[in-house]
Structure 1
Amino acid sequence: MPQPNPWFSSPADAVDRLAASGYLADPATATTAYLAGALEKPLLVEGPAGVGKTELAKAVARVTGADLVRLQCYEGLDEARALYEWNYKKQLLSIQASAAAKQAANGGATSNGDLRDHEIFTDEFLLTRPLLTAIRREDPTVLLIDEVDKTDVEVEGLLLEVLSDFQVTIPELGTVAAVRRPFVVLTSNATRELSEAVKRRCLYLHLEYPDAEREREIVTSQVPDLEDRVAAQLVATIGKLRDLDLKKAPSIAESVDWARTLVALEIGELDDKAVTDTLGVVLKHASDQERAIKELRLKA
């Protein structure tokens, strides 16, 4: 497969191909996705949970035929889980097996020199994690660094080397540089401010919840059996729910799930009873459901 550089031939090409995979990108999203491939720069996508940040990376992988490598970030993530670690158990077993073989060959005698000569820091004992896996791959790869704002600040130092030169240094093996730069997407829910050093190395895209018309297009493209009138009612209700002070506002994916639920239940009118009966599809906290029923004055 020829190297996709750029991954998209133009912003319009990005719009068309992403749409064909089910991801409806607005002009800003399509342009930034195109530039991320053309300039070979990481793309930082920021916005509230559920607006399609992670799905953008998945869609790019689908339409370009690239493999998706995902690093799910969380508090406490360290280098061993993000980059690499040595398989210590395998190293120990290898040392023991080598020592036993040399002892048998030497008539029961062995020496510390024999053990020092045994090489255990090679690819055979290296456990690659997402960052190193993506860098070493020769095939087209989309590297998704998901919810980077959940990591500790120290992890950003690790990302800087990767995002700056697309290479990492392994003390025992040396520097490993990317043969083919991956398409990198970092997502952030903006729960904390990322360092300027990381931002400086990235293109930036901010995503918000789509307007009603765009969301209706997304829902009906994913659930074509949904009646237009019900789709309009659903999108209007989703908008009202997002205006409430909820623990977790409904995501676009949950809007689609709700549409599928209504089709499955053959609901042709999204009245108060239908909303109340199916509210658990879009609101996953009891307090949110109680607030929605109260604020929207829903009647069973």
Structure 2
Amino acid sequence: MSPPAFPLESPEAVWRLLEGERYVAEEGLATAIFLALRLGRPLLLEGEPGVGKTEVARVLAQGLGVPLFRLQCYEGLELEQALYEWDHARQLLEVRLLEALGERDRERLHRSIYREEFLLKRPVLQALEVGRAVLLIDEVDRTDEAFEAFLLEVLSEFQVSVPELGTIRAPFRPAVVLTSNRTRELHDALRRRCVYYWIDYPSLEKELRIVHLRLPELPARLAEGLVRLVQAVRGLGLLKPPGVAEALDLGSALVAAGAGDLDPRVLEPFLGALLKTREDVERVRERLPSLLAAL
């Protein structure tokens, strides 16, 4: 089996790497990342939308100085979109060109069009070929069990077989990050292959630190009021509670508008940056005066 590509020496080293990329992580997450890298296993991150699961892969790649390959999962995702497919249009043109030049031997025609130059490499194969890379398999819960079985096979051996070309093995194990919003339960076999970590909504102190790091231009008083408001809104039982990403979007909107204070008149036009359904917007709009008064 291929060796780990990223021999970071401790969870503290991982924590410093994340901090250097302005990602605020707790000790548990840094330890999970360290274990995944050291053991050469995928890291499975679950949590509510917008809590920073996808961002882990991005900052990890940036901090390690390696490429990031992202596979965005969706219902009906086929293996070809994850792994590879042949460029049939170019292959057909190649056959026509060779035939025009007088080539008639079917075996030679077959060999000429099944070469690597005609292979369209998708994220999983790209990451395996590079080895020292981060492979993000985002929202894996949107796929089906057949796709999970494919992932389990690839992530067990870190190699794939292309019948026309042979077996492609990773020179090093890429860092693999799987994210899930738990729209369905993942199979136990895939979970056992991974190092698992749940990313929860942040505490007030942690979220305030995130806002300060990501939006230093937002005045401290506004930042604290924004975070307290978002934390209160999450307790209203909304259809889609706002995550950290939405809190940052609202903060960016306030900065762009040059807002000097938080009041219903200022915030109402920007609720669409924080909330993503009509029902949630209407509910928060009705409660906005009392929410702000309680800050």
Q: TM-score, normalised by structure 1?
A: 0.90
The gaps in structure 2 that reach 5 residues or longer are none
2:14 is matched with 14
Distance across 1 between alignment mates of 2:254 and 2:273:
10
Give 1:272 shift. Answer: 2.5
- 1:74-97 Cα offsets, whole Å, 9 max, x none, are 001001111111111222222222
The gaps in structure 1 that reach 5 residues or longer are 104-109
Within the candidate set 110, 113, 116, 2:107 is matched to: 116
- 1:91-139 Cα offsets, whole Å, 9 max, x none, are 2222222222126xxxxxx5xxx1232212221221111111111115x
Give 1:226 shift. Answer: 2.2
1:204 aligns with 2:196: yes
1:78 is matched with 78
Q: CA RMSD in A?
A: 2.0
Pair 7,279 (structure 1): closer, same or farther in 2 beyond 3 Å? farther
1:106 is matched with none
Within the candidate set 259, 277, 291, 2:251 is matched to: 259
For the 8 Å contact 1:12–1:30, the answer to whether it is kept is yes
Q: Secondary structure at the match of 1:243?
A: helix
Stretch of structure 1 that moved more, 246-255 or 163-172: 246-255
2:87 is matched with 87
1:66 is matched with 66
Distance across 1 between alignment mates of 2:253 and 2:62:
26
Distance across 2 between alignment mates of 1:10 and 1:116:
54
Instruction: State, as a whole percentage, how many aligned pairs show the same letter.
Output: 45
For the 8 Å contact 2:4–2:174, the answer to whether it is kept is no
Give 1:298 shift. Answer: 5.7
Distance across 2 between alignment mates of 1:262 and 1:81:
39
Equivalent residues in 2 for 1:82-161 (5 A)? 82-102=82-102, 110=104, 114-118=105-109, 119=111, 120-138=113-131, 140-161=132-153
Q: Secondary structure at the match of 2:258?
A: coil
- 1:10-61 Cα offsets, whole Å, 9 max, x none, are 1111112211211011000111111111111110001110000000000101
Give 1:263 shift. Answer: 2.7
1:191 aligns with 2:150: no
For the 8 Å contact 2:21–2:59, the answer to whether it is kept is yes
Greater gyration radius: 1
Q: Secondary structure at the match of 2:197?
A: strand
Pair 284,97 (structure 1): closer, same or farther in 2 beyond 3 Å? same
For the 8 Å contact 1:276–1:299, the answer to whether it is kept is no
1:213 aligns with 2:199: no
For the 8 Å contact 1:7–1:64, the answer to whether it is kept is no
Letter in 2 for 1:134: A
Within the candidate set 233, 238, 245, 2:225 is matched to: 233
For the 8 Å contact 1:273–1:299, the answer to whether it is kept is no
Distance across 1 between alignment mates of 2:86 and 2:6:
35
For the 8 Å contact 2:128–2:158, the answer to whether it is kept is yes
For the 8 Å contact 2:268–2:285, the answer to whether it is kept is yes
Distance across 2 between alignment mates of 1:161 and 1:224:
44
State the aligned residue count.
Answer: 288
